[in-house]
Amino acid sequence: MRHSAIVIAALLTATISATAQDTLHMGPNMVYNPSFEEYRQCPQRIDSRGTLTTVDAWYQPTAGSADYYNVCGRRECQVPNNKLGSQPARTGVGYCGIYCSQDNYREYLQTELREPLVPGATYEVTFHVSLAELSPEAVGTLGALFTSYRLADSSYNILLHREWRQVGPARQAIATNFTPQVCGAPDQPLTDIEQWQRVSGHFVAQGGERFLTIGNFAPASRSGLVSRGGDEAILRGAYYYIDDVSVRCLDCHQLPLAPKQTANHAENTATSTPQPPKVGETFVLDDIYFEFDRSTLLQQSYNALERLIALLERYPRLKIEIGGHTDGQGSERYNLRLSESRATAVRDYLVARGIDSRRLQAKGYGKSRPRATNATDEGRALNRRVEVKVIANP
């Protein structure tokens, strides 16, 4: 994958300059809720052990809690004045915040793009950061990582790519650092506590990347860590506010259209069933996401659930089993319980939307039915899924 030099510039009131031709050819922003203006409830507090659930379309991929700030929030998470400093939003009334320096505690933001990236297309990525006033340190290597699968890690540490490899006669778990497609430079630490700074760059997509993760993927020793003083009793390390995220295609108008879905793929989705589904037919309910290690549905799941509801309404005598599946990490008992609660959460959503509960069964399979290897992050992401099986169609 080709990487570009990264431009990091302090911004005052000016926006990114572009020629009229660049503006004409640049595609629309592929990021939902790019400036964090849409939210479910006003933020209440900053909690390193909490879960980001209040802001629409964004979540945390690890146990490290990303934070949400809004003018409507309580005192410690308000805009502009909050627990970690004072900073007006660059756009609107809200922004997020993440902790970025110590290897044994990191925070990240993740979202799903509006559509997968086009292979061979060049994309411009931009996001804006401001160092919290109470941060005694700053780093330079904040970056944007694009993956074809959703990242999920139970630790509070730096986010790593993990896979099993055969080393001699034994298999060992190997952890390596991710390489974000766009990343700031370690010799240009982001130290501005007054203005928003821009992190931006271009890269060529491999194709199929659907998820964007923002944070510091470099070890502290390679992050350009600098000390600037501050109140270490409140915060150690570097904490950044994040606002105005943009992912735009620069040349998609010049590329041939992406191939259409194959018939086999269409037959395995809830939205493309041309004939009434047959008893025993099973399909993966794509794009169902839950809070990390929980059974709470994330908002990104609602479109897929609405498509399932449309299918059930189209065939009112259809009865289905909703099967929850997990990856291979964790104990069998824990995964079975988690998969059951997630399947039940999907069933409860359908019932709340008017589907007769007698048409729905929820069952958890835990890690007993993997559809891919559990030795890689990609494989584990495929194994974490919700499947729908037709059990009656009288």
**Residue 390 contacts residue 277 (beta carbons within 8 Å):** yes
**Residue 99 contacts residue 176 (beta carbons within 8 Å):** no
* pLDDT value of residue 230: 58
**Residue 329 contacts residue 374 (beta carbons within 8 Å):** yes
Measured over all CA atoms, what is the biggest interatomic distance in the chain, rounded to whole angstroms? 71
pTM value? 0.73
Nearest Cα to Cα of residue 52 among 217, 192, 214: 214
Cα 358 to Cα 320, 324, 341: the distances in Å are 10, 18, 18
Give me the residues of the chain with pLDDT under 50, please: 1-24, 257-273
Apex CA 328: angle with CA 361 and CA 387, to 5°?
A: 25
| CA 26/CA 275 separation, integer angstroms | 40
* pLDDT value of residue 256: 56
* pLDDT value of residue 382: 87
Reduce the DSSP state of residue 347 to 3 states and report it. helix
* pLDDT value of residue 99: 95
* pLDDT value of residue 330: 86
Strand order across the 211-216 sheet: 58-59, 109-112, 211-216, 142-147, 182-183
| CA 173/CA 157 separation, integer angstroms | 17
* Domains of the chain, CATH where assigned: 7-254 (2.60.120.260), 263-392 (3.30.1330.60)
Q: What is the mean pLDDT of the chain?
A: 84
